Amino acid sequence: MKNNSFEEIGNIIRKAEKILLFPHINMDGDTLGSCAALCRALRNLGKECYILIEDHIPANLAFLDRGYCTSDQNIVEKPDLSICIDCGDADRFIRRKEKFQQSPITICIDHHGTTEFYCDYNYVDSKASATGELIFKLLRAMDLPLDREMGGAIFAAITTDTGNFQYSNTSKETHEITAALYDTGIDSNEISVELYENNRIEKLLIKNRALNTLTTVCDGQGVIAYVTQEMLTETGALMDETEGVVEELRSISNVEVAAFLKEAEADKIKVSMRSKYKVNVADIAYSLGGGGHERAAGFTLYCSLTEAFDMITEKMTDSLGKL
């Protein structure tokens, strides 16, 4: 199947009056920033629009919510339109899936290469560094002006999904869109402080504990680390405060691929993988029921932490052995 155009999607949005936006679970800056920018734009059009969530907003992203987010699934009893943003599949908003499907029309806007079309209208571009880039293009196609708040939300979306413009998904177009955001009057330093310099002590404690579990694979070409529920309890940290650990692992000299295992609950392990140059971690993720990009992907394993660790070690060793 091919993408619908932004013009088609924009026309559908203009016809709707009651709209729900769906970010993925374990929200990151891209999904929430993209939702926040679109929500403000649609409210400016006079639409009744909310961001429907099912988990808490990470502390460093709280500034993006200007009264947009709600966990009340009845806040809009009969939505005209549901839009999922940055969600590779409907399992990324599993507890809201039924509400999403109540709408007569659904739209998916995403940038993951493993995303399959599952909505009535779809726009998926794996070349985009972040879904925030696509929201920018959608608003431009709809001829909607971007104000400072929308510009800041899209900037947050892009900077977080590109590792502050360090990752390989950063392109010339990424910088061109970001440059255009400055025309809205954004203060990039102010946004960066909120995103990257607003950490609790507990985040540093859990990061230290997780890094102490580091194990190397294939003479240091691969690294694996993990975090358990017990470690979270002992440090007082939240699971979302382990965000960024997998990037720290990848940053180690000579490491090609990194994996970070998070014990969400007994026999449920969430895995994030990253690579530098050669290993396609999306292929690994897809083979285990997940998805993502060539250099950044994730999936969930329903087994013990030990079993998950062994499985990832095997997959990593196999991938590195083919280089």
Is residue 214 located within the same domain as residue 167? no
Q: Which of 176, 196, 216 is the last residue of a domain?
A: 196
Is it the case that residue 245 has pLDDT exceeding 80?
yes
Residue 158 confidence (pLDDT)? 98
The secondary element (H helix, E strand) that includes residue 258 is strand 257-265
For residue 56, being part of any structural domain is answered with: yes
Contact call for residues 260 and 252 (beta carbons, < 8 A): no
Number of domains in the chain: 2
- Kindly report the CATH number assigned to the domain that includes residue 270: 3.10.310.30
Q: Once rounded to an integer, what is the mean pLDDT over residues 261-275?
A: 97
Closest C-alpha to 133, from 106, 170, 90, 164: 170
Q: Can you say how many angstroms the Cα of residue 33 is from the centroid of all Cα atoms in its chain?
A: 10
Is residue 115 located within the same domain as residue 210? no
For residue 238, being part of any structural domain is answered with: yes
Is residue 33 located within the same domain as residue 81? yes
Domain range for 68: 6-196
Contact call for residues 290 and 297 (beta carbons, < 8 A): yes
In order of 14, 173, 276, 307, the CA distances from 167 in angstroms are: 35, 14, 9, 30
For residue 215, being part of any structural domain is answered with: yes
Model confidence pLDDT, tens digit, residues 209-237? 999 999 999 999 999 999 999 999 999 99
Is residue 158 located within the same domain as residue 214? no
Residue 1 confidence (pLDDT)? 73
Give 196's pLDDT tier (boundaries 50, 70, 90).
very high
Is residue 92 located within the same domain as residue 166? yes
For residue 1, being part of any structural domain is answered with: no
Q: Which of 196, 219, 240 is the last residue of a domain?
A: 196
Residue 52 confidence (pLDDT)? 98
Is residue 30 located within the same domain as residue 112? yes
Angle between helices 172-182 and 148-161 (to 10 degrees): 150
* Phi, psi values for residue 14, rounded to 5°: -65, -30
- DSSP assigned state of 2: -
Q: Which residues contact 262 (CB under 8 A, 6 or more apart)?
A: 226, 227, 239, 242, 269, 270, 271, 272
Q: Which of 139, 167, 196 is the last residue of a domain?
A: 196
Checking DSSP bridges between strand 257-265 and strand 268-275, what pairing results, if any? antiparallel
Average pLDDT in the chain: 96
Is residue 149 located within the same domain as residue 232? no
Residue 151 confidence (pLDDT)? 98
Is residue 240 located within the same domain as residue 183? no
Residue 78 confidence (pLDDT)? 94
Please say whether the dihedral angle defined by the alpha carbons of residues 144, 146, 149 and 154, taken in this order, is positive or negative: positive
- Kindly report the CATH number assigned to the domain that includes residue 54: 3.90.1640.10
Residue 292 confidence (pLDDT)? 87
Is it the case that residue 263 has pLDDT exceeding 90?
yes
Is it the case that residue 293 has pLDDT exceeding 90?
no
Is it the case that residue 113 has pLDDT exceeding 90?
no
Checking DSSP bridges between strand 48-52 and strand 105-110, what pairing results, if any? unpaired
Is residue 288 located within the same domain as residue 145? no
Is residue 130 located within the same domain as residue 86? yes
Is residue 11 located within the same domain as residue 112? yes
Closest C-alpha to 127, from 285, 299, 293: 293
Matching residue, tokens 């590779």: 88
Is residue 61 located within the same domain as residue 86? yes
Model confidence pLDDT, tens digit, residues 162-177? 999 998 899 999 999 9
What span, in angstroms and rounded, lies between the C-alpha atoms of 246 and 252?
Answer: 10
